[in-house]
Chain A
Amino acid sequence: MPDPMKIRATMAGDKVEVKVLMAHEMETGQRKGHPAWFIQNVSATCNGRTVLSAQWGPAVSKNPFLAFRFQGGKPGDKIVIHWVDNHGESRTDETTVA
């Protein structure tokens, strides 16, 4: 099981600012003896509503960082971040908007 993500969701004016740090090797596949291993899909929901989704390649940094803002959230809302890598491994973590 991959290590959990660190997620922070705070109000920034009338918007929710989300910062996520994921624990992943993000191997490019360019190094000898190290096949590509990277997060391919990321999605973020707020109380079940998708607020961001992404498709990544192996160029995204090791232990990827992601920051974004969205409207329509309030303190107490549940933020869920989900990722799946190219080995089919996945991780889902959540937090509430502070």
Chain B
Amino acid sequence: MSDALDLTAAEADARARDAADALASFRDEFLIPPHGDGEQTYLCGNSLGLQPRATRQALLDELDDWGSLAVEAHFRGRHPWMPYHAEVREHLAELVGAQAGEVVAMNSLTANLHLMMVSFYRPTAQRPAILIEKNPNMLAAVFDIPPGTEPALSTRVKMGQTSRVIALVKAGDKYYYSAKEVKVTLGGCGG
């Protein structure tokens, strides 16, 4: 019984909060899919949210500009395409809580990550190491390779027995390795 009473109280509280919500009117700006006689309760916000009612007209405007101006719409459309990133900058800054000068609208997340890596990821030095798994001291050699020197080295090492030889490279903050089994045979060069 007390549960039912609490639910009623909770619903009343929720309705009161909705009524006091200054942003509540924005609900009418979206198309909400039907569910039975009513509307769906749509909670998906991370991927494709609800379609804003204004989207259709905004797309039609662009299609009209494309149709009537063709390539010139890049510069002479209602919302010229060329400086589009600048047009949305102020709004994006508000959205993410930054200064307009700190925001730039670019490609998709994947392309942006790629561009960021290409622009800023500059490994300053590499540290390849040679490890011989079954030697008494596994670490045979470590090299510091400054920029400008090729990360291709050759040297010779001793092996007590057949073992995996591992080339380990540190590039940036990550380690990469490649291993190869090298056979050691008593008495020389056989199999």
Contact = CB atoms under 8 A, between A and B. Distances in A.
B145 interface: yes
A82 B178 CA distance: 29
Contact of A52 (B135, B146, B160): B146
Interface string A37-60: 000000000000011111111111
A44 B123 CA distance: 21
B137 A54 contact: no
A27 to B, nearest CB: 11
A80 to B, nearest CB: 15
A15 B140 contact: no
A56 to B, nearest CB: 5
A interface secondary structure, majority: strand
For chain A, the bracket of interface size reads 20 to 34
B150 A59 contact: no
A73 B42 CA distance: 65
15 contacts: A30-B160, A51-B149, A52-B144, A54-B142, A54-B144, A56-B141, A57-B140, A59-B159, A60-B141, A60-B155, A64-B156, A66-B154, A70-B148, A70-B149, A72-B148
